[in-house]
């Protein structure tokens, strides 16, 4: 009897084990239903995500707290939660252009699944890719690139009543524009004249721009841009935006930053009925009888996109994101970092060259003097224009911080360790949204005293204090006898808290590109206009010569972007 009892127990145990294994296998991925919170750091700060699951699937995903950049990370926050639920997977593609925010959201959902006891491997499998399919589209105007130039062109084309499509290789709009400070220069606007701000003489501004570009600029392009610059303010107002005169010089901003400008242009374009296809890279310009008749592109799945159009506008940006190309054209840039968008790889220039377009100034590549090297973040010129100073490893100033960018970059490269520390205070930060962003991103921390700054810099505190004290006297006297700086003199550095960060030059802007005239028509290598082909923004060359003046890029994209949209529409008529 005992033998039968023992045998029954053994059989029962084995049977139970088999049942248990089978049960575990059938319930792979089973979760404890509930709501789970998790957070990971995005580009600016922690992103907190709420994930709701039932026993077998992800029910909902919602970002409940974030401080990500509006116009960059905000797109990932808007789009990814729904895509995760639809795919039932955290193995989906990130939003290109918002990778930090994307990875934080995906990582937070992964953590939530672990909390729920899920088989994370099951929910990490990439969803099946849809089959690539070719498309053929017909529009009035096709624009390559959804940065500031492309969106400006798109708005004007739509205002003129043309059916307009923009293709953008990244998953979000903005290009390099959204990475800039957003300020643009103007000469002769009524607000400037009334406020006695900056170089509001048109002729003075033309001379300043030409000298800044080492007189390599196309004077006709520069003159046209500056003579019509005040009209850009009126145009933006007509589109429902609110450009405001800047704190210093002749600059204006829209909503205080480039992100505001891009989002306002995007909203206006879409409100007018304009369309954008994201994740589509232009590969060729279609031609017929010597005229541009459309764009051939490819989407992320490899599908061929054929877009027939009555006019083509290239607004695809420069090539500052292609470090190999930059170093090939200017070997001195070997080893430099870049603050450019990943999408800035010269696609439009290559397409235009392939059909016989001329290029100019391709070897003219600008380094920005104040790039935080580890993050490739550009610290806006507005810091130096509003009272921030540059200090070397000996604790001393060494240059006119507010002169042309190439001059400041060269001065930094001559210093010990080829770097400098940019120093400013909280009052300056509080008056510039872009500068506030560096604190929100965690790039800088406040220092209560100059002794604290000296410890961060590892310099003699006495030398640093003397440097700042001397600077404060220059501000009081509105005169810099050492370096002849021409600051706004609106604040000194007598009061903390202070902010300091080591910076060095990095690739910032490519001045060369497709050759155009003032109508933004593309010029061939033979010197004639290529009918139906227009270009605007950083894809073009000639406007900035050998060195771009700070604040002129946004003016360039707005003025010539609008011009391209207007003249493309006129060409169709």
* Catalytic residue positions, numbered: 405
**Tokens read off for 283:** 């590969």
**Encoded tokens for 159:** 């205002």
How do 58-65 and 46-53 pair as beta strands?
Answer: antiparallel
Hey, how many other C-beta atoms are within 10 angstroms of the C-beta on 507? 27
Structure tokens at 100: 């930090």
Q: CA torsion sign, 133 to 138 to 139 to 143?
A: positive
Q: Which helix (H) or strand (E) holds 350?
A: helix 347-354
Contact 520, 382 (CB under 8 A): no
Residue found by looking up tokens 């003579």 in the block: 227
**For residue 327, what are its two tokens?**
């170093």
Q: Nearest CA to 386 among 524, 248, 498?
A: 248
Give φ, ψ of 478 to 5 degrees: 50, 45
Backbone angles phi, psi at 48, to 5 degrees: -100, 130
Tokens for 221?
Answer: 């392009």
Q: Distance between CA 67 and CA 133 in Å, rounded? A: 38
Measured CA to CA in angstroms, residue 567 lies from 156, 229, 421, 487, 534 at distances of 9, 17, 46, 39, 8
- Pairing status of strand 184-185 against strand 46-53: unpaired
Strand pairing category for 513-515 and 540-541 = parallel
263: which 2 tokens? Answer: 């989002």
For residue 91, give Cα distances in angstroms to 95, 107, 110, 406: 12, 10, 10, 44
The answer to whether the peptide bond before residue 497 is cis (omega within 30 degrees of 0) is yes
H-state helical runs in 28-72: none
The DSSP call for residue 479 is -
CB atoms within 10 A of CB 32: 12
The C-alpha atoms of residue 401 and residue 18 are separated, in whole angstroms, by 76
């Amino acid at each position: 009897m005992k033998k039968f009892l023992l045998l029954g127990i053994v059989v029962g145990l084995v049977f139970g084990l088999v049942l248990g294994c089978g049960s575990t296998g059938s319930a792979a991925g089973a979760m404890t239903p509930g709501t789970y919170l998790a957070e990971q750091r995005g580009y600016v700060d922690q992103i907190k995500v709420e994930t709701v699951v039932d026993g077998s699937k992800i029910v909902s995903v919602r970002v409940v707290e974030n401080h990500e950049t509006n116009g960059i990370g905000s797109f990932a926050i808007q789009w990814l939660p729904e895509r995760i639920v639809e795919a039932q997977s955290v193995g989906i593609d990130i939003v290109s252009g918002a990778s930090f925010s994307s990875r934080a959201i995906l990582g937070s959902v992964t953590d939530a699944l672990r909390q729920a006891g899920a088989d994370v491997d099951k929910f990490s499998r990439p969803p099946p890719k849809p089959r690539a399919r070719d498309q053929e589209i017909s529009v009035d105007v096709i624009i390559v690139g959804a940065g500031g130039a492309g969106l400006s062109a798109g708005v004007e084309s739509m205002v003129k009543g043309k059916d307009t499509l923009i293709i953008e290789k990244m998953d979000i709009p903005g290009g390099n524009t959204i990475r800039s400070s957003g300020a643009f220069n103007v000469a002769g606007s009524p607000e400037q004249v009334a406020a006695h701000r900056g170089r509001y003489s048109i002729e003075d501004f033309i001379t300043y721009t030409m000298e800044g570009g080492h007189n390599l600029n196309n004077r006709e392009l520069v003159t046209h841009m500056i003579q019509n610059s005040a009209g850009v303010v009126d145009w933006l107002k007509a589109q429902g935006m609110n450009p405001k005169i800047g704190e210093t010089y002749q600059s204006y901003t829209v909503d205080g930053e480039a992100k505001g400008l891009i989002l306002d242009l995007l909203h206006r374009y879409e409100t007018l009925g304009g369309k954008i296809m994201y994740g589509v890279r232009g590969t060729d310009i279609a031609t017929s009888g010597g005229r541009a008749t459309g764009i051939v592109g490819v989407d992320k799945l490899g599908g061929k996109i054929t877009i027939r159009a009555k006019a083509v506008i290239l607004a695809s940006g420069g090539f500052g994101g292609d470090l190999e190309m930059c170093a090939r054209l200017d070997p001195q840039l070997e080893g430099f970092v870049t603050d450019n968008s990943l999408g800035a790889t010269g696609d439009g220039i290559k397409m235009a060259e392939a059909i016989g377009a001329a290029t100019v100034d391709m070897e003219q590549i600008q380094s920005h003097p104040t790039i935080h090297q580890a993050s490739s973040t550009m610290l806006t010129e507005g810091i130096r224009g509003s009272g921030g100073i540059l200090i070397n490893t000996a604790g001393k100033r060494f240059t006119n911080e507010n002169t042309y960018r190439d001059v400041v970059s060269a001065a930094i490269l001559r210093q010990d360790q080829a770097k400098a520390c940019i120093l400013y205070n909280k009052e300056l930060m509080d008056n510039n949204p872009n500068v506030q962003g560096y604190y929100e991103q965690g790039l800088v921390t406040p220092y209560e005293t100059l002794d604290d700054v000296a410890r961060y810099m590892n310099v003699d505190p006495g030398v640093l204090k003397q440097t700042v004290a001397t600077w404060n006297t220059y501000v009081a006297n509105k005169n810099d006898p050492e370096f002849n700086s021409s600051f706004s003199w609106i604040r000194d550095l007598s009061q903390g808290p202070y902010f300091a960060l080591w910076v060095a030059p990095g690739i910032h802007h490519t001045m060369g590109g497709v050759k155009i005239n003032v109508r933004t028509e593309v010029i061939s290598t033979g010197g004639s206009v290529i009918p139906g082909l227009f270009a605007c923004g950083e894809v073009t060359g000639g406007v900035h010569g050998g060195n771009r003046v700070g604040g002129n890029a946004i003016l360039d994209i707005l003025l010539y972007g609008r011009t391209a949209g207007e003249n493309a529409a006129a060409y169709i008529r």
